[in-house]
Amino acid sequence: MSTPARLSVVHETEYKYAHPVEMAQHVACLRPLSDASQRLMQFEMTVSPEPAQHSTRLDAFGNSRAFFSLTAPHKTLLVVARSEVEVWPRHAKADLSQSDSVAEVVKQLTYRAKAPFVPASEFAYTSPYVPLHQELRDYARASLDPSRPLAEAVVDLMHRVHKDFRYAPLTTDISTPILEVFEKRQGVCQDFAHLMLGCLRACGIAARYVSGYLLTHPPAGQERLVGADASHAWLSVWCPGLEDERAGAWLDLDPTNDRLAGLDHVRVAHGRDFGDVTPLRGVIRGGGEHTLSVRVTTLPVKDETEPSSMDDS
């Protein structure tokens, strides 16, 4: 039986406003997922100043969302999420050659009258940050030969994206169109995730955006992964035939680091694109100019004692 990694995450988000914010409504997506391949051991989210109202619920994709409102004037907002998770290998025994072929998967996802609904199909279409472009379809087809096992094909596509595109912080932001990222051949983790989503969906393949974290300091002898000091992003591709006891048919790919997601990847949420899993967003009245700082630290937990309970914050 494989041994899980136990990791702690501290995610701090701080807004500083030039003028007092009179009223604010915020939504946070910071609580890690808990399923067969990742168990949430503890979670706590603190907000300063203290919210007037605070509630949580699951969204349509099964992600936990926290809703809170601030009614007292404030010039700073600090949100700190502390998590502890156990992560199991998701693809330790995966045989990529056993997945269905590209053509077979496209056929399963293609709409047919009276055919059974395929839940993965909701991730096969365009979304606000992932429009469909002929240029992306053409780029992807070099990897997505119809007769090729889909898992092998998408890993090949990941290798090409990693080789052809340069990781370049501060050259893009969330508003940068993926076609611009494609043309300039540079970006950051969320760009590469959106780019691969655009390539795959343009070819009729279902893939979802994954938000999460990377281990900040790797074990001795291993290289430090790119993007470990902030929220990270990768994608998950539906590969029927590649049934894993923990991951099911979803294959997690990290194009920024050119590898399958492993024990150093903590999953927070998944959706169609970044817009579905934004860590923190809101609507405010007042405030004027503002500055934003985000700090993330993900470390191994050395104390292996079981926590007494789980915080439902």
List domains and CATH numbers for the chain: 5-87+277-300 (2.60.40.2250), 96-275 (3.10.620.30)
94 pLDDT higher than 90: no
Contact present, 253 and 193 (Cβ < 8 Å): no
Per-chain mean pLDDT for the chain:
91
Calculate what percentage of the chain has a pLDDT beyond 70. Answer: 92
Query: What's the confidence (pLDDT) of residue 304?
Result: 45
31 pLDDT higher than 90: yes
What is the Cα gyration radius of the chain? 20
The pLDDT-based confidence of 224 (bands split at 50, 70, 90) is low
What pTM, to 2 d.p., does this model score? 0.91
Query: What's the confidence (pLDDT) of residue 88?
Result: 92
pLDDT, tens digit (0-9, with 9 covering 90-100), for 183-208: 999 999 999 999 999 999 999 999 99
pLDDT, tens digit (0-9, with 9 covering 90-100), for 143-175: 999 999 999 999 999 999 999 999 999 899 999
The DSSP bridge pattern shows strands 250-254 and 232-238 to be antiparallel
313 pLDDT higher than 50: no
Residue with the bigger pLDDT between 244 and 162: it is 162
60 pLDDT higher than 80: yes
Query: What's the confidence (pLDDT) of residue 305?
Result: 45
Query: What's the confidence (pLDDT) of residue 1?
Result: 53
Query: What's the confidence (pLDDT) of residue 306?
Result: 43
The tokens for 4 are 């899980």
